[in-house]
Amino acid sequence: MRNRRRTSGVRRRGVVFFLLELDFFLPFLVALCGSAALALRPPATLASLAITLAAGVVGGITPLPRGSEERGGGRLPWTWTTLIGVAAFVAARVLQHPMAPRIAPLFVAATAAAGAAEELLFRRLLYGALAVYGAATAVGGSAVVFAAVHVPAYGVAAFPIDLAAGLLFGWQRWASGTWTASSVTHAAANVLQTAW
């Protein structure tokens, strides 16, 4: 009779440990699938926008590993972190030539929403999953994946620019303590690229 109880306890404990491991690895799996979907999306179509928004929704609802949840009270106030990020993209846009052609307002809104959706996937979900390994790993890892996902759409030449943007977004996530600062910056950067 004792053997049955021990076996039963081991089985239950095994299931609990499996579920804990699933809770830990689920964000990585979801981030990998979302990144693959973004990398394989067709360029600038309604389907690509739908894929981006779906990846963002999934990135927003997937639970993070225990201990990596967002906490308020980051190292810098949210407003300053966001202003620094937006100012960096405004400066880059002012220095960039030629200016983009004027685009329809609906497309501008869609690119802003796409930026916010990507931040849900990369700076909420992936950053949160990597945060258990330290801030440097979370900032760097989410930036590298972010840049790699954009290679099919923009080419290898854009990788360093996307990596720099990903590092800035990751720094904002770390400094503000929330993904929303990088989300506002990413949306603003997309608008600057399309509308101005």
Most confident of 3-12, 70-79, 140-149: 140-149
pLDDT-based confidence at residue 6 (cuts at 50, 70, 90): very low
1, pLDDT greater than 80: no
Per-residue pLDDT tens digits for 156-166: 999 999 999 99
Number of neighbouring beta carbons within 10 Å of residue 49: 17
For the chain, list the strands marked E by DSSP.
none
Residue with tokens 């399309």: 194
Does the pTM surpass 0.75? The reply is yes
What is the model's pLDDT at position 69? 60
Alpha-carbon distance of 168 to 174, in angstroms, equals 10
Residue-wise pLDDT tens digits, 95-147 = 876 555 667 788 888 989 999 999 999 999 999 999 989 999 999 999 999 99
